[in-house]
Structure 1
Amino acid sequence: MIPRIHFLPPQDRHRLAPLLALYAAEMRGVLAGAAIATPEAQAALLASHPAAEVLLAEDEAAMPLGFAILFDLPEVVFARRCGMLDDLFVRPASRGQGLARALIEAAVAEGRLRGWSHLRWIVPEDDAGAIALYQRIATRADWRSYVIRLDAAASL
């Protein structure tokens, strides 16, 4: 199966709700105790956010299989732009078929078209499956990630 990967326009992002529900269920384990929004609220945010871009992987029947949320950001050191991959998710039943890799490859191809200096993302330390893929296809950055939690309900 070769999935179709394309940018999902804001008016169609409600189609992500079933995937967002699966993603939220998985993240509950990582974000124990955090107040996670409903899939409908998550899709509405993605539809209304002016900078969020969504790559969607879907099958021949247009069933959503996975998504990647991207941001095109200024990169001042190189006086260029870079890409930020904020979320990447593949439906559990569709894993092991190269969809995550294909979504990242689509993001990289788009970044080349836009002249990005790089594509970057963060991953939870305990996400062994994702880390295994990322170690095969990318170089670990020399940066640490830090966070200041501003809302106790959204804390780990």
Structure 2
Amino acid sequence: MAEQHDVEIALLRLKDAHDLAPLLAAYAQALKRGAPRRPDEFYAEGLLQDRTAEVMGARLDGELVGFTIFTDLPDPVTGLRCGQVDHVYVHHDHRKKGIAKALVDLLADQAEDRGWSRLVLNAPRQPEDGRKLYEQIAVPADWTSFMIRFDAAK
């Protein structure tokens, strides 16, 4: 029989930086591979105080196990606004429990209150894990993204 867990999802605040730092380090390590990064509480505090990004966290039985980083942007085509999710992460010990989908669903549920015409879901090409969820719950966007790198990391 499957275990029941109490999942709470809410915007993270400055007081949550200590819990967020290890997840940010694990997320960076999952994307870049190599040696695990050291949790950086100072960076987590800065992220949680960012003027443009918001961070939603998922707690499972009180433990922070996942997050999404998103922004609220103007949409000049519709005259409304749109949400944009650039990062979703759930700790590997807690995957396949519907937590990432619950994070995205909660943002989608807030679309009307936030005046969003759409919620854009960006995912890295590798690893494919993130894209699999988006392919199940969303449609391909009408555009392709490109980037110009300004750092030495490739």
TM-score range, shorter chain: 0.7 to 0.9
Opposite residue 47 of structure 2, the aligned amino acid is L
| Structure 1 stretch displaced more, 65-74 or 4-13 | 4-13
* Map of 1:51 onto structure 2: 52
Output the aligned Cα RMSD.
Answer: 1.9
* Secondary structure of the structure 2 residue equivalent to 1:57: strand
Structure 1 residue runs without a partner (length 5+):
none
Q: Distance in 2 between matches of 1:145 and 1:16?
A: 28
Query: Percent identity, aligned pairs only?
Result: 36
* Secondary structure of the structure 2 residue equivalent to 1:144: coil
Structure 1 position 25, deviation (Å): 1.2
For normalisation by structure 2, the TM-score amounts to 0.87
Structure 1 position 116, deviation (Å): 0.2
* Map of 1:6 onto structure 2: 10
For normalisation by structure 1, the TM-score amounts to 0.86
* Maintained 8 Å contact 2:90/2:100: yes
Structure 1 position 93, deviation (Å): 0.3
* Maintained 8 Å contact 1:65/1:94: yes
| Structure 1 stretch displaced more, 105-114 or 72-81 | 105-114
* Map of 1:100 onto structure 2: 100
Structure 2 residue runs without a partner (length 5+):
none
* Map of 2:74 onto structure 1: 74
Q: Relative contact order (alpha carbons < 8 A, sep ≥ 6): 1 or 2 greater?
A: 1
Opposite residue 121 of structure 2, the aligned amino acid is W
Q: Distance in 1 between matches of 2:132 and 2:11?
A: 26
